[in-house]
Chain A
Amino acid sequence: MKIAQKTIKFLLIAAITFFSTVGFASESDKKHDDQNDGGRVNTKEEVEAYILHHIKDSHDFSFWSYTSDEGERKHVGFPLPVIIWSSEGLVTFMSSEFHHNDDGHVIVEKNGLKFAKIHSKIYELEKGATTVSFDETHHATNAHKLLDFSITKSVVGILLIGFLLLFWFSRLAKQYKTKQVPTGFARVLEPLVLYVRDEIARPNIGEKHYRRFTGYLLTVFFFIWVLNLSGLTPLGFNVTGQLAVTGCLAIFTLVIYTVSGNKDYWMHMIWMPGVPVLIRPVLAIIELAGALIIKPFSLLVRLFANISAGHIVVMSLIAIMFTLKESLGVVGATGLSLVLSFFITLIEVLVAFLQAYIFTMLSALFIGMAVADHSEAH
């Protein structure tokens, strides 16, 4: 009965997704499209802009776009809700109202306020302004940024992967009620759980304390890994390449090891025993900076940089197809691009795991230092 319900739910979601995709695709935005070349990405500058646009968060979920025979630019995907905290309070509308415009030319009016989207960021126009004006460095002069709680593509990614993880692992958990050894996909998940517990949590935190933190480490590990992998699919998520997300994860780790640090840990941090008293304050500053700033910063930057760089490299190699067309010929450029991007993607699959492993490993290590009984923790 339950399985039947689940299947129905799945079909429903799939159907909604499909129809909203179609609906969105049928919209044309000929009027507002200022790209007269049909959306081609040929020159180096265009490639760079495209890649930088891709690694940013997006307010639409678009799969691909094309130019129809009538010269209309069409986008296949679906719009996502925009939720912003403006000067007049909460404002919500669908991202389709921007008609895929990303340079501030389409103005959306809601509650008497005007909004424009510039480089994947939503700006609120000053009172009285009707269009966004830019200075010479392409900064908007009469609009300001907002707190943007939109369900962006990254949020969709987090939700999707979150539900997926919950679904997978709660099913694994249920299987143990009836049998000792799980079957099916759960059998693949079990050794991964054991791996995180036995190779990451247990050795780094220690036999006595690891139990308390294993839940967090497991969640973080699978969250990062699956999101990294989904970033390599044509869905094109770049969730773990968003500073906001990696920052959030890094701060969680910081909070956990700061809160659970024992007396020994703080003793070594603030008033290091065994060194001359005069040096102690200096060491305290270094230790505090290390624990409160450098450690989380290294966590957040490492993950962000690796994943963003991976996306940039893969896309750049794909772009070889266009940028080297003239010097290598169509076949040569396409072949080179395919071979290189294939191998880089393979490496990225490894990196996806590696970065999840490193993040979890370092988190476990930092927590382990904070809770160690006879600490050399510094």
Chain B
Amino acid sequence: METLLNDFSPGLFVVSTILLLALIALMVKFAWKPILNSLEERESGIENALAAAENARKEMQNLQADNAKLVKEARAERDAMMKDARDVRDNMIAEAKEDAKEVTTKLIENAQASIQQEKQAALAEIKKNVAELSIGIAESVIKKELSNKNDQLELVEGLLKDVTLN
């Protein structure tokens, strides 16, 4: 203990205190402050970068999910549209068929009706002609009868022959 106390140098104590205080002050000012600040800056920078990367990754995932959803929706829409189109087409065809059927039946009906009419008209004319002919024949017969009985008879016979030919 005595030698320890003897070895203790108060002068060195004072000198080293001064030097160490100066060293601590200088180191803090010129080394530790800028170093620690830069390190902290760098660490927070790294942290931010990692967080940003994580966010970007999440956003990416969201985007991808959105995309998939969009694609799905688009596909569904397309399918729906195609189905609609098919329905419309089918309807149109069906309608067109119906219309066509109606029109043809009407046309046929009309045609039949006009045929009937023509036939009636033709028959009527024939009847009329027959009547006229009959009247003409009757006239001629009557005229001949009035002149010669035999001749008249011959005439009627001849006329009747013609009539059957007709």
Name A's B-contacting residues (CB within 8 A).
Answer: 56-57, 84-85, 121, 146-152, 154-155, 158-159, 162, 165-166, 169-170, 172-174, 176-177, 180, 190, 193-194, 197, 211, 214-216, 218-220, 223, 242-245, 247-249, 251-252
> A166, B23: Cβ atoms under 8 Å?
yes
* C-alpha gap A242/B39 in the complex (Å): 35
A165 touches B27 (CB 8 A): yes
Known A147-B11, A148-B9, A244-B9; contact A215-B19, beta-carbon cutoff 8 A: no
Residues on B with beta carbons closer than 8 Å to the beta carbon of A162: 19, 22-23
Of the candidate stretches B30-38, B70-78, B95-103, the one touching chain A is: B30-38
Contacts of A176 in B (CB 8 A): 34-35, 38-39, 42
Minimum C-beta distance from B121 to chain A (A) = 113
Q: Which residues of B contact A218 (CB under 8 A)?
A: 27, 32
The verdict on A215 contacting B33 (CB below 8 Å), with A148-B12, A243-B4, A248-B17 known, is yes
Decide if A158 touches B16 in the complex (CB within 8 Å): yes
Complex contact A223–B11 (CB within 8 A) = no
Sample (13) of A-B pairs whose CB atoms are under 8 Å apart: A148-B9, A148-B10, A148-B11, A154-B16, A173-B38, A176-B42, A177-B38, A215-B32, A219-B23, A219-B32, A244-B10, A245-B16, A247-B8
Footprint of A on B, CB under 8 Å? 4, 6-17, 19-20, 22-24, 26-28, 30-36, 38-39, 42, 45
B78 shortest CB reach to chain A, Å: 52
B15 contacts across to A, CB distance below 8 A: 149, 151, 155
CB distance from A141 to the nearest CB of B (A): 16
Residues of A within 8 A of B12 (CB): 57, 148, 152, 154-155, 242, 244-245
Q: Beyond A215-B36, A252-B20: 15 further Cβ-contacts under 8 Å?
A: A158-B23, A166-B26, A166-B27, A166-B30, A169-B32, A169-B35, A170-B30, A170-B31, A194-B39, A216-B24, A216-B28, A219-B28, A243-B7, A244-B11, A244-B16
- CA gap between A214 and B35 in the complex, in Å: 11
Closest chain A CB from B154 CB (angstroms): 147
Q: Whole-angstrom distance from the CB of A172 to the nearest CB of chain B?
A: 6
| Residues of chain B within 8 A of A211, CB atoms compared | 36
The DSSP consensus for interface residues of chain A is helix
Contact B19 A155 (CB under 8 A): yes
A173 touches B35 (CB 8 A): yes
Of B14, B22, B27, B42, most buried by chain A (CB within 10 Å of CB) is B27
Q: Which residue of A lies closest to B24 (CB)?
A: A219
Separation in Å of the A310 CB from the closest CB of chain B? Answer: 17
Once A165-B23, A248-B20, A252-B20 are accepted as A-B contacts, the answer to whether A172 and B14 lie under 8 Å apart by CB is no
Which residues from A are CB-within-8-Å of B42? 176, 180
Q: Is the CB of A247 within 8 A of B27?
A: no
User: Which of B17, B27, B34 contacts A219, CB < 8 Å?
Assistant: B27
Residue from B13, B22, B33 within 8 A of A247 (CB atoms): B13
Query: In the complex, which residues of chain A have a beta carbon less than 8 angstroms from the beta carbon of B16?
Result: 154-155, 158, 242, 244-245, 248
How many angstroms from the CA of A248 to the CA of B17 in the assembled complex? 6
Q: How far does the alpha carbon of A135 sit from the alpha carbon of B34 in the complex, in Å?
A: 58
Expressed in whole angstroms, the Cα–Cα distance for A151 and B15 within the complex equals 9
Top 9 A-B residue pairs of the complex, sorted by shortest distance between their CB atoms: A169-B31, A176-B38, A148-B11, A215-B28, A173-B34, A244-B13, A244-B12, A215-B32, A162-B23
Contacts of B34 in A (CB 8 A): 173-174, 176
Smallest beta-carbon distance B126→chain A, Å: 121
**Complex Cα gap A220–B20 (Å):** 9
Say yes or no: A223-B20 contact (C-beta < 8 A), given A147-B11, A194-B39: yes
A248 to B8, CA, bound (A): 11
